[in-house]
């Protein structure tokens, strides 16, 4: 296959990868060890593959890897860790919003993109910005509670 | 898609010459949200057209010029007098798809459930194709057939021009769906202009419940010059409803698709009228 | 009512794996895929019913990068069931790893393992297959007609427990029971309702589809890492299917990305294991979303007839429930699901004359399987719709009608003994039931007093309220077994090793809470490992609402034993009798007079100082009861009477699960189940063409709700204390999904007079029903 090199900023680090022309971004990420981004439907309909590109949430399962050449990509691995979890991660964990957890990274990425754009996001904002993230476990109640607690509108911090 | 190579041009001329040279083997890629619906497995060279500077919304002479690679999120977030496409963008699939999908992609490739063409028909948009020269096509002509057939190798849809909504005019759009992120089962849009309490001009467009998005001209004719109101709207629907062939999608019957359209057209006409009145 | 004060139990602590998952750490099967794993792809049958007359795999085998092609001609033909159930299974043996007969669109033709997914897909395209196309059975009503095509005509098909099984008639199972005399009961009634209901196909839609990988280790053992709810059943069935000893197979379950029953099934593991054996390479197979819809498992659609007789005063004189269940191309869980349709709903209201028939038929459509609710979902729709229809007839408020008839603490029901899981059941009296309080609390929250008859409503948009009462069970008595091992470490922490299978519900946390409570320590001191057939003791797995109640008791027992050992060491160290001591705050303390040693000191002492031994034990548990959780659900909807569109405004679920061991996780179970039930009632639907092919196997057309569709949801936990359960707990995970179908159907009727008896409640059905004056000719289902 016709491998070509692309370079982009991945979690604040400039990285180069050899890719195949028809490789999707999620395949590139997962084979490169970024397995926090999940594949749930392969058609851009479930949001478990959501990553942030240039500040906006997108579905890595339908985006081609070549399209991120020169751009800025953020995955769940860049968001937090045990010693410095992101407030969204703490809120999700504490609200009981993580059941099976498969959709959780995508939800956190979507909410992070929103809060960076609008720190005082309202319930309506969350509803709209997370309408691309399916969760089958929680019924969304505790997720919404967790996300809202991170909005400055409710005194939260993100 | 079976991409055997990709190219990332940074200017329109460069992109066009690449597309021209590649001919049938070229596949322009913007938001990349539609390829999951295409079954083309022939080897192609992807040409990324997101770096050509074709994004952005500008108001010129009462008309919005919308770059073809402007995303649906951009349409949703834009605020300016007479701007109405946010109403359409709001009902467009999901946030990540709104962030990726472009107005150009939505216009060039029409699926039964496509959203934007219905609004573009009702708003009488113009679509600008840049080839060796620039061609402007009115929406009814553009959507008469699958629009990508209008494009020769090297041609790109570069911009969409949508008239700003003026005083005495109203526009309403409704996409009937089971959940907020569903494909449409019936999409209707209405634009109307009032003069001295009568309908001076009106456009009604429908999609999803018909094989290709269409204007309902017989209903429009019935309304021109009429006093707007529930009776006139119902009469117009009666005049127009059977001029189109109704086709139920996603498990609904043709009969119900027709019924749904007849209810929703009255709804959007009513809303457009309210707006035109300045209510 | 909680009778005790707890330290760890009944507290909303952080779920023990929540942060790991929120950080996106490698946790699921796919996250551990080795980069050199061969990728498996399956060629699916294009026909619903066909026989392969010739198949040529040679070109595929020769393709560079292809390592193995499996089909019926090169694997053992061993009949088995794919149902992950106890042995001998109540599901018929009617499945082979590969067969020359195709029984649904998507059935296994041949599998390829190749270096890349692309190569595997290319190889599938060059497998040449010719079929003799057979007429298919595509409707539940046609399956047992004379002359119907026979789905399972192979001689091997058989039932392994003594139950009716007649594959030549497409009958996969049957159960029939009568208590009293139904006809007599109906004759005594002032009013009789007799309606048909149909619940539709639905899929669990775990966001992680089925995924498995396997490799052969240096001792020639097959190590399978898989997304399963039943690791031990998986090991047994894989060994059976490959004709190898159980000892040659190890099954590891990492985190699971949702199951809801669909992973109580051996769907991928047999092929993955066989490919690993043949290629000696790590192999990996994950379903696409389309395969998940078509080739994994679904909710059994059922055509139900419900007859009920009642007197004007509200006394129920007779209940008859006939369920014709479509198990699809294989009989997985067919018998037990339909048994549950009877056993989980019929005891809910007192009645002396009950008849139940469950008949399970094969068709050439996707296979039914275990799905949260497990037959009770189906029956609850018919039963609780009929309760409203009867209340209307006798002129009672449906809430009053239910309240005067429902089972209460101290009551028993002959149904408990008459109907078990594929055999007779077990007598039990209800020892905890707060259903009355659930009804009261739910009614208050929804504002039931505002409810008016539909005839009093006007305008295009009309609102209405509906309710449903529910019960389920907690584990399968006298059948299911769970076990746990607990051992102490130097720092006073404990390893809790369990076969119990957390499929995302939080059972690892709940069980660790039970251990910590019993041991007198904190949750962070319990290191949970579940489940791995080499490392953890046996457990039937995560199904039948069993984990908290059954595995919880195993954990409580083993913790009790370990606590005794700790006290004994403490007594040695403090030079007193064990009876003078207690545990508290990870210490052994003298009840009187002072003196204490920490758990860490005890562990160090027992390991290194004197009379050395490993503090630790194992315990297993079977249960003799299956105490039902109870719930009352209330829905308020708005109907657009012009388009028929239904919108849920508010949904209230009040549930009695005994002591909620972890209140937030218990609420989460209710909320998740209710949301699943709401989309199943309104939008989820399998569309088939006339050849049996599913037309919408993707999330674009098969609609789940997103956060933006969420109605106002209110969960009310009404605690009781179930004395047979661990710290008073009963189950909670399944019951919530059973309410939305009937509660919403009843609310739609209350809003606009349309009575919808077939799911899902689409706008078109409501519109058609309104056109027909509220009644809709019963639509035949699949």
Domain ranges of chain B: 3-48, 57-163, 169-277
* Cα distances (Å, whole numbers) of residue B23 to A66, B44, B49, B151, C382: 21, 10, 15, 11, 60
Tell me the CATH number at C242.
Answer: 3.90.1170.50
Q: Quick check: C776 pLDDT over 80?
A: no
Assigned token pair, A49? 């593959």
| Dist. CA C602–CA C122, nearest whole Å | 62
Distance CA C378, CA C370 (A): 12
Q: Is the peptide bond before C183 cis (omega within 30 degrees of 0)?
A: no
Give the minimum alpha-carbon distance from C684 to chain B in angstroms, rounded to a whole number: 10
Confidence tier at A1 by pLDDT (50, 70, 90): low
Domain B57-163, CATH among 3.40.109.10, 3.30.465.10, 3.40.50.2300, 3.30.70.260: 3.30.465.10
In a domain, C294, yes or no: no
Distance from CA of B52 to the nearest CA of A (A): 13
**Tell me: domain A4-78, CATH 3.10.20.30, correct?**
yes
Confidence at residue C1, expressed as pLDDT on a 0 to 100 scale: 43
Query: Could you give the CA distance from residue C180 to residue C194 in angstroms, rounded to a whole number?
Result: 19
Q: Are residues C488 and C461 in the same domain?
A: no
Based on the fold, state whether residues C613 and C629 are members of the same structural domain.
no
Question: Max CA-CA distance within chain C?
Answer: 86
Domain assignment of residue C5, yes or no: no
Give, in order, the Cα–Cα distances in Å from B5 to each of A7, A59, A66.
Answer: 16, 22, 10
Pick the CATH number of B3-48 from 2.60.120, 3.30.43, 3.40.5, 2.60.40: 3.30.43
Handedness of CA C669, C672, C677, C678 (dihedral sign): positive
Distance (Å, rounded) from C-alpha A94 to C-alpha C22?
A: 11
* Closest CA–CA distance from residue B91 to any residue of chain C (Å): 11
Best mutation target among B28, B94, B183 (most A Cβ atoms within 10 Å) is B94
Minimal Cα–Cα distance from C306 to chain B, Å? 27
Q: Where are the alpha helices (DSSP H) in C195-333?
A: 231-242, 269-279, 289-295
User: Is C655 in the same domain as C610?
Assistant: no
| CA-based nearest residue to C655, from C676, C634, C679, C637 | C634
Neighbours of chain B (3+ CB pairs under 8 A): A, C
Task: Please compute the mean of the pLDDT values over residues A117-132 and round it to a whole number.
Answer: 97
Can you tell me the distance from the alpha carbon of C446 to that of C466, in angstroms, rounded to the nearest whole number?
10
Q: Does A38 touch chain B (CB under 8 A)?
A: no
pLDDT of residue C782: 42
- Looking at chain C, which subunits does it touch, using at least 3 CB pairs closer than 8 Å as the criterion? A, B
In a domain, C173, yes or no: no
pLDDT digits (tens, 9 = 90+) for C685-725: 999 999 999 999 999 999 999 999 999 999 999 999 999 99
Tell whether A40 lies on the interface with B, counting CB pairs under 8 A.
Answer: no
**Domain assignment present for C400:** yes
One domain for residues C94 and C231: yes
Cβ-based contacts of C37 with chain A (< 8 Å): none
| Overall number of domains in chain C | 3
Q: Which residues are CB-neighbours of C501 under 8 A, at least 6 positions away?
A: C228, C229, C230, C231, C253, C256, C507, C530, C531, C539, C541, C542, C547
User: What integer pLDDT is reported at residue B7 of this predicted model?
Assistant: 96
Question: What is the average pLDDT score of chain C?
Answer: 96
- CATH code, domain with C356: 3.30.365.10
Per CATH, A4-78 and A87-154 having the same topology is answered no
Substitution target in C117, C710, C762 with the highest count of B β-carbons within 10 Å is: C762
Chain A CB contacts of C284 below 8 Å:
none
Model confidence band, residue A157 (pLDDT cutoffs 50, 70, 90): confident
Q: Does B2 touch chain C (CB under 8 A)?
A: no
The C-alpha torsion from C136 through C141 and C144 to C148, rounded to 10°, is -30
Choosing among C206, C208, C213, C707, which should be mutated to test the A contact, i.e. which has the most A CBs within 10 A?
C707
User: B94 vs C767: CB contact, 8 Å cut-off?
Assistant: no
- How many C-beta atoms lie closer than 10 Å to residue C538's C-beta? 16
Give me the residues paired with residue C70 across strands: C111
- B258 → chain C, closest CA residue: C643
Testing the interface with B: which of A2, A18, A131, A135 to mutate, by most B Cβ within 10 A?
A: A131
Chain B contacts in chain A segment 99-118 (CB below 8 A): 110
- For the segment C136-171, what is each residue's pLDDT rounded down to a tens digit? 999 999 999 999 999 999 999 999 999 999 999 999
DSSP C506-549: -HHHHHHHHHHHHHT--GGGEEEEE-BTTTS--B--S-TT-III
State the CB neighbour count (10 A cutoff) for residue C591. 11
Say whether pLDDT at B51 is over 70.
yes
Question: Which residue of chain A comes nearest to B2, CA vs CA?
Answer: A22
Contact C760, C741 (CB under 8 A): no
Decide if A63 and B8 are in contact by the 8 Å CB cutoff.
no
What letters, b where the CB count within 10 A reaches 16 and e where it falls short, cover B239-273?
A: bbbeebebebbbbbeeebbbbbbbbbbbbbbbbbb
Residue whose C-alpha is closest to residue A103's, from A137, A61, A141, A58:
A137
Residue A2 has pLDDT above 90, yes or no: no
Give the dihedral sign, CA C282/C283/C289/C294. negative
Mean pLDDT value across residues A62-81:
97
- Contact between C623 and C420 under an 8 Å Cβ cutoff? The reply is no
pLDDT at C780 over 60: no
What is residue C446's predicted lDDT score, i.e. its pLDDT? 98
- pLDDT tens digits for range C505-536: 999 999 999 999 999 999 999 999 999 999 99
Collapsing DSSP states into helix, strand and coil, what is residue C695?
Answer: coil
Q: Is C573 left (phi over 0), alpha (psi -120 to 50) or beta?
A: alpha
Can you read off the two tokens belonging to residue C252? 């590891």
Whether residue C103 sits in one domain with residue C247: yes
Q: What is the pTM of this model?
A: 0.97
Those of residues 709-748 in C touching chain B at CB distance below 8 A are 709
Residue-number span of the structural domain to which C528 is assigned: 18-26+481-622
> What architecture is domain A87-154?
Orthogonal Bundle (1.10)
Q: Among all residues of chain C, which has the CA nearest to that of B41?
A: C122
Respond yes or no on whether the N-terminal peptide bond of residue A66 is cis (omega within 30° of 0). no
Going by pLDDT thresholds of 50, 70 and 90, the confidence category of residue A47 is very high
Chain C residue with the nearest C-alpha to that of B248: C764
- Per-residue model confidence as pLDDT tens digits over C292-344: 999 999 999 999 999 999 999 999 999 999 999 999 999 999 999 999 999 99
A57–B50: do the CB atoms touch at under 8 Å? no
SS3 of C471, please?
Answer: strand
C275 and C309 within one domain: no
B5, B8, B100 member nearest A63 (Cβ): B100
C-alpha B197/C-alpha B219 separation (Å) is 19
Distance from CA of B8 to the nearest CA of C (A): 25
Q: Which residue has the tokens 């995924």?
A: C211
Q: Which of A21, A45, A64 lies closest to B32 in CB terms?
A: A64
CB contact under 8 A, C763 and B260: yes
Q: In chain C, pLDDT over 90 holds for what percent of residues?
A: 97
Top residue of A1, A11, A124, A136 to mutate, by most chain C CBs within 10 Å, is: A136
Of C546, C410, C556, nearest to C473 by C-alpha is: C546
C17–A101 CB contact, under 8 Å: yes
Shortest distance between the Cα of A133 and any Cα of chain B, in A, equals: 8
Average pLDDT over residues B53-75: 98
Kindly list the distances between the CA atom of residue A11 and the CA atoms of A77, B208, C24, C26, in Å, as whole numbers in the listed order.
Answer: 8, 41, 14, 17
Q: List alpha helices for C280-413, DSSP H.
A: 289-295, 334-343, 376-394, 398-405
Contacts of C677 (CB under 8 A, 6+ apart): C373, C377, C736, C737, C738, C739, C740, C741
* Domain boundary pick from C601, C622, C643: C622
> What percent of chain C clears pLDDT 70, i.e. is strictly above it?
99
**Which tokens hold the place of C251?**
């099954």
Same domain, yes or no: C684 and C670:
yes
Instruction: Estimate the crossing angle of helix C435-446 against helix C398-405, to 10 degrees.
Output: 170
Examine the pLDDT at C781 and tell me if it is beyond 90: no
* Among C469, C461, C451, C457, CA closest to C747: C451
Mark yes or no for CB contact B94/A45 under 8 Å. yes
Min distance B275 CA to chain C CA atoms (Å): 22
Neighbours of chain A (3+ CB pairs under 8 A): B, C
Residues of B with CB under 8 A from a CB of A: 1-6, 8, 29, 32-33, 35-36, 45-46, 48, 50, 73, 90, 93-97, 99-100, 180-181
Tell me if C559 sits within 8 A of C485, measured CB to CB.
Answer: no
Look up the CATH number of domain B169-277. 3.30.390.50
pLDDT at C382: 98
Q: Which of C622, C655, C679 is the last residue of a domain?
A: C622
Please name the member of C642, C645, C685 whose beta carbon is closest to the beta carbon of B251: C685
Q: CA–CA separation, C222 vs C225, rounded Å?
A: 10
- Please count the CA atoms within 13 angstroms of the CA of C105 that sit on its side-chain side: 19
In this prediction, residue C4 carries a pLDDT of 73
Between A129-138, B29-38, C763-772, the lowest mean confidence (pLDDT) is in B29-38
Contact indicator for C28, C257 with CB cutoff of 8 Å: yes
Across the interface, which of B4, B29, B90 has its CB nearest the CB of A67?
B29
Give A69 to chain B, closest Cα distance, Å.
Answer: 9
**Which spans in C575-635 are helix H?**
599-604
Arithmetic mean of pLDDT, B41-61: 96
Q: Of C28, C672, C700, which has the smallest distance from its Cβ to A139's Cβ? A: C672
Domain annotation covers residue C594: yes
Is residue C621 within 8 A of residue C554, CB to CB? The reply is: yes
Same domain, C602 and C648: no
Q: What is the pLDDT of residues C447-506, one digit of tens each?
A: 999 999 999 999 999 999 999 999 999 999 999 999 999 999 999 999 999 999 999 999
Tell me the two tokens of residue C663: 């209140």
Among candidates B29, B90, B97 on the partner chain, residue whose Cβ is nearest the Cβ of A44:
B97
Alpha carbons C378 and C741: distance in angstroms, whole number:
9
Of C622, C638, C670, which one is at a domain's C-terminal end? Answer: C622
The neighbour count for residue C54, using CB atoms within 10 Å, is 10
Q: How many helices (H) and strands (E) does chain B have?
A: 10, 12
* Long-range interactions of C477-480: CB distance < 8 A, separation 24+: C477/C420, C477/C425, C477/C426, C477/C428, C477/C622, C477/C623, C477/C624, C477/C625, C477/C626, C478/C426, C478/C622, C478/C623, C478/C624, C479/C86, C479/C421, C479/C622, C480/C86, C480/C540, C480/C544, C480/C546, C480/C550, C480/C622, C480/C623
- Contact between C709 and B179 using a beta-carbon 8 Å cutoff: yes
Task: Write out residues 660-679 of C within 8 Å (CB-CB) of A.
Answer: 662, 664-665, 667-668, 670-676
C117, C642, C678, C707: best mutation site toward chain B, by most B Cβ within 10 Å? C642
Residues of chain A in contact with residue B74, where contact means CB-CB under 8 angstroms, are none
pLDDT, residue C22, reads 98
CA distance A134 to A107: 9
Token pair 């064990």 is at which residue? C578
| Cβ contact, residue pair C762, B183, below 8 Å | no
Question: d(Cα C421, Cα C543) in Å, to the nearest integer?
Answer: 13
Alpha carbons within 13 angstroms on the beta-carbon side of residue B17 total 5
The sign one gets for the Cα dihedral C3, C7, C8, C10 is positive
């Amino acid at each position: 296959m016709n491998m070509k090199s692309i370079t982009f900023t991945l979690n604040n680090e400039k990285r180069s990868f050899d890719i195949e022309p028809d490789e999707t971004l999620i395949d590139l990420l997962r084979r490169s060890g970024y397995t926090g981004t999940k594949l749930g439907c392969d058609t851009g309909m479930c949001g478990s593959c959501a990553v942030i590109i240039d500040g906006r949430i997108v579905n890595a399962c339908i985006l081609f890897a070549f399209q991120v050449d020169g751009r800025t990509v953020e995955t769940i691995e860049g968001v937090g860790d045990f010693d410095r979890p992101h407030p969204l991660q703490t809120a999700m964990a504490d609200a009981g919003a993580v059941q099976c957890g498969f959709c959780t990274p995508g939800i956190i990425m979507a909410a992070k993109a929103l809060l960076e754009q609008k720190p005082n996001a309202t319930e309506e904002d969350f509803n709209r910005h997370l309408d691309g993230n399916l969760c089958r476990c929680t019924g969304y109640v505790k997720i919404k509670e967790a996300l809202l607690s991170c909005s400055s509108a409710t005194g939260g911090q993100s | 898609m079976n991409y055997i190579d990709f190219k990332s041009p940074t200017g329109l001329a460069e992109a066009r010459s690449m597309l021209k040279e590649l001919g049938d083997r070229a596949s322009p890629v913007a938001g990349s949200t539609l390829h999951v619906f295409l079954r083309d497995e022939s080897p192609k060279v992807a040409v990324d057209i997101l770096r050509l500077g074709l994004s952005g919304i500008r108001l010129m002479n009462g008309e919005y010029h919308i770059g073809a690679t402007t995303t649906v999120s951009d349409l949703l977030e834009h605020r300016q007098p007479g701007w109405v496409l946010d109403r359409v963008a709001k009902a467009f699939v999901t946030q990540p798809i709104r962030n990726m999908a472009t107005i150009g992609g939505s216009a060039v490739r029409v699926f039964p459930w496509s959203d934007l063409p219905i609004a573009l028909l009702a708003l009488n948009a113009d679509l600008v194709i840049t080839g060796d020269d620039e061609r402007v096509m009115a929406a009814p002509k553009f959507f008469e057939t699958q629009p990508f057939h209008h494009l020769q190798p090297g041609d790109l849809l570069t911009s969409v021009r949508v008239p700003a909504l003026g005083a005495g005019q109203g526009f309403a759009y409704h996409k009937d769906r089971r959940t907020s992120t569903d494909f449409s089962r019936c999409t209707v849009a209405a634009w109307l202009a009032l003069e001295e309490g009568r309908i001076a001009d009106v456009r009604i467009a429908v999609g999803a419940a018909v094989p290709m998005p269409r204007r309902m001209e017989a209903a429009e004719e019935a309304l021109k010059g009429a006093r707007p109101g529930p009776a006139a709207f119902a009469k117009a629907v009666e005049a127009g409803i059977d001029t189109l062939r109704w086709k139920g999608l996603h498990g609904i019957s043709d009969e119900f698709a027709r019924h749904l359209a007849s209810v929703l057209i009255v709804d959007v006409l009513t809303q457009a009228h309210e707006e035109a009145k300045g209510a | 009512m909680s009778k005790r004060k707890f330290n760890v139990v009944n507290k909303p602590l952080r779920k023990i794996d929540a942060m790991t998952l929120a950080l996106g750490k490698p946790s699921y099967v796919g996250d551990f895929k080795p980069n050199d794993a061969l990728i498996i792809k399956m060629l699916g049958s294009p026909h619903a019913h066909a026989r392969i007359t010739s198949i040529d795999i040679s070109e595929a085998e020769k393709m560079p990068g292809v390592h193995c092609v499996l089909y019926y001609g090169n694997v053992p033909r061993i009949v088995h069931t794919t149902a992950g159930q106890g042995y001998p299974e109540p599901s018929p043996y009617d499945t082979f790893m590969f067969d020359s007969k195709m029984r649904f669109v998507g059935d296994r033709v041949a599998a390829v393992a190749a270096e890349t997914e692309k190569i595997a897909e290319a190889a599938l395209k060059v497998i040449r297959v010719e079929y003799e196309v057979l007429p298919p059975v595509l409707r539940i009503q046609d399956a047992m007609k004379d002359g119907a095509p026979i789905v399972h005509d192979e001689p091997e098909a058989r039932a392994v427990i003594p139950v009716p099984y007649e594959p030549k008639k497409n009958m996969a199972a049957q159960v029939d029971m009568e208590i009293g005399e139904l006809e007599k009961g109906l004759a005594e009634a002032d009013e009789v309702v007799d309606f048909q209901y149909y619940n539709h196909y639905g899929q669990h839609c775990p966001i992680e589809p089925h995924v498995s990988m396997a490799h052969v280790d240096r001792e020639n053992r097959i190590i399978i890492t898989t997304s399963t709810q039943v690791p031990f059943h998986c090991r047994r069935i894989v060994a059976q299917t490959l004709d190898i000893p159980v000892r040659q197979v190890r099954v590891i379950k990492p985190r699971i990305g949702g199951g809801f029953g669909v992973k109580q099934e051996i769907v991928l593991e047999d092929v993955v294991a066989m490919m690993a054996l043949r290629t000696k390479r790590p192999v990996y197979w994950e379903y696409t979303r389309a395969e998940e819809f078509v080739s994994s498992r679904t909710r059994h659609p059922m055509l139900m007839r419900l007859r009920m007789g009642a007197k004007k005063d509200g006394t129920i004189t007779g209940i008859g429930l006939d369920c014709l269940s479509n198990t699809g191309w294989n009989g997985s869980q067919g018998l037990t699901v339909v048994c549950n349709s009877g056993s989980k709903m019929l005891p809910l209201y007192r009645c002396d004359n009950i008849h139940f028939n469950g008949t399970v038929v094969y068709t050439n459509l996707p296979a039914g399987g275990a799905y949260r609710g497990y037959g009770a979902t189906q029956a609850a729709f018919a039963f609780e719709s009929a309760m409203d229809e009867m209340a209307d007839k006798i002129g009672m408020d449906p809430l009053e009608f239910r309240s005067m008839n429902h089972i209460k603490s101290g009551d028993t029901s002959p149904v408990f003994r008459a109907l078990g899981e594929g055999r007779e059941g077990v007598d039990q009296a209800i020892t905890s039931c707060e259903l009355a309080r659930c009804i009261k609390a739910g009614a208050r929250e929804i504002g039931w007093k505002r409810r008016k008859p539909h005839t009093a409503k006007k305008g295009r948009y009309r609102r209405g309220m509906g309710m449903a009462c529910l019960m389920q069970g907690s584990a399968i008595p006298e059948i299911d077994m769970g076990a746990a091992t607990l051992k102490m470490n130097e720092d006073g922490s404990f390893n809790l090793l369990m076969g119990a299978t957390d499929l995302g519900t939080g059972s690892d946390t709940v069980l660790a809470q039970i251990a910590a409570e019993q041991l007198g320590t904190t949750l962070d001191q319990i290191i949970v490992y579940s489940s791995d057939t080499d490392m953890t003791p046996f457990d039937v797995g995560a199904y039948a609402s069993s984990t908290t109640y059954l595995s919880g008791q195993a954990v409580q027992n083993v913790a009790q034993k370990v606590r005794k050992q700790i006290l004994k060491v403490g007594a040695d160290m403090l030079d007193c009798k064990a009876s003078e001591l207690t545990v508290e705050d990870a210490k052994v303390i003298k009840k009187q007079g002072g003196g204490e040693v920490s758990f860490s000191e005890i562990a160090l002492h027992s390991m290194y100082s004197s009379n050395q031994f490993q503090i630790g034990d194992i315990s297993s548990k079977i249960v003799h009861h299956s105490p039902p959780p109870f719930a009352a659900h209330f829905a308020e909807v708005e109907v657009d009477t012009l388009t028929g569109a239904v919108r849920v405004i508010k949904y209230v679920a009040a549930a009695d699960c005994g002591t909620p061991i972890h209140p937030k996780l218990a609420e989460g179970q209710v909320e998740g189940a209710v949301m699943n039930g709401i989309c199943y009632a309104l939008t989820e639907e399998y569309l088939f063409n006339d050849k049996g092919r599913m037309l919408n196997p993707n999330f674009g057309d098969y609609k789940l709700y997103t956060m933006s569709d969420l109605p106002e949801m209110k969960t009310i936990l009404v605690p009781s204390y179930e004395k047979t359960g661990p710290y008073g707990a009963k189950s909670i995970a399944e019951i919530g999904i059973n309410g939305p179908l009937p509660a919403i159907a009843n609310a739609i009727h209350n809003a606009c007079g349309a009575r919808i008896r077939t799911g899902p409640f689409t706008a078109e059905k409501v519109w058609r029903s309104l056109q027909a004056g509220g009644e809709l000719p019963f639509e035949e289902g699949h």
